[in-house]
Amino acid sequence: MRAALAELGVTPSRRWGQSFLTDPFVADAEAALVGNPTGAVIEVGGGLGILTAALLRRRSGPLTVLERDPRLARHLRRAFGDRIQVMTADALEMPVDPDATYVGNLPFSIATPLLLRWMKARVRRIVFLVQNEVAERLSAAPGSRSYGRLSIVTELYGRVEPFRLVPPEAFTPRPKVESRLAVFEGRPGPLPVPSVVEFERIVRTLFSSRRKQLGNLLPRLVTAPESAAQLALRAGWPDGWSRRRPEDLSPSSYFALARALAEPASD
């Protein structure tokens, strides 16, 4: 694969976090998770085309590939011709199609903001390969070491299911960490909170001091004359909530808190 890069005259860009997938078995596993959906499929970061080729082996419909590096975009057009549509574009700036299936090996530097951008646009399905630590945070359960704001916000929009681990040897150049294949399935229907902006403020406030107990944190969200205890009661929080920490409560508890804050307290 290094020879292929040399032939193309491509040196991986550190600024863009380029690390090219070179293991065809991993590419085929990722393509299998995409399957052959009826809607559009958009691959982000076509790179050398190993995932593109795997997708085309399984896909009968059109495939759009976003590749911001003009050198690699030219390579993809030569390699696959009119079987794909190549767009030289930055995925963080492109309009989002919520009905499309997005797939890609996401650069570590932009993986989280890119995934959140797609989630907030209510994309139905994303198949992605990211740093294992990011996958763990996206899918973490309450009380675990990785559980936090990102886990809760992800649950607002849907659910991430992690799949196989991918070793550094599957890439050129090799990253220093393991990666993981994962799938995001979007939440059908309306979101479980009245306001996303207010919900994010609530979670950010409570996790700003995550080692403190909620009994000391919840009063920051209360407006007089309501007490934190009354608010927790209206949100249906479990007994003993005041002695727990932010990472101990489920996403549904935070959704309920956001709804309780949006409703006027009864006399």
Reported as a single tens digit per residue, the pLDDT across 152-185 is 999 999 999 999 999 999 998 888 899 999 999 9
* Kind and range of the H or E run holding 20: strand 20-21
In whole angstroms, what is the distance from residue 186 CA to residue 126 CA? 8
- Residue where a domain terminates, one of 141, 156, 186: 186
For 66, list phi and psi in degrees, rounded to 5: -95, 125
Residue 164 included in any domain: yes
CATH number of the domain that 45 lies in?
3.40.50.150
- Residue where a domain terminates, one of 186, 221, 251: 186
Q: Decide if pLDDT at 15 tops 60.
A: no
Residues 91 and 73 in one domain: yes
Q: Which of 138, 178, 133, 137 is nearest to 160 (CA)?
A: 138
Q: Decide if pLDDT at 5 tops 90.
A: no
* Residues in contact with 130: Cβ distance below 8 Å, sequence separation at least 6, in sequence order: 106, 108, 111, 115, 179, 180, 182
Question: Tell me: the pLDDT tens digits for 32-63?
Answer: 999 999 899 999 999 999 999 999 999 888 99
In whole angstroms, what is the distance from residue 267 CA to residue 30 CA? 55
Looking at residue 200, its pLDDT comes to 97
For 123, list phi and psi in degrees, rounded to 5: -65, 140
Whole domain around residue 45: which residue ranges? 2-186
Residue 267 included in any domain: no
Question: Tell me: the pLDDT tens digits for 228-266?
Answer: 999 999 999 999 999 999 999 999 999 999 999 998 766
Residue 178 included in any domain: yes
Residues 105 and 6 in one domain: yes
- Residue where a domain terminates, one of 186, 215, 230: 186
Residues 89 and 122 in one domain: yes
Per the prediction, the chain carries an average pLDDT of 91
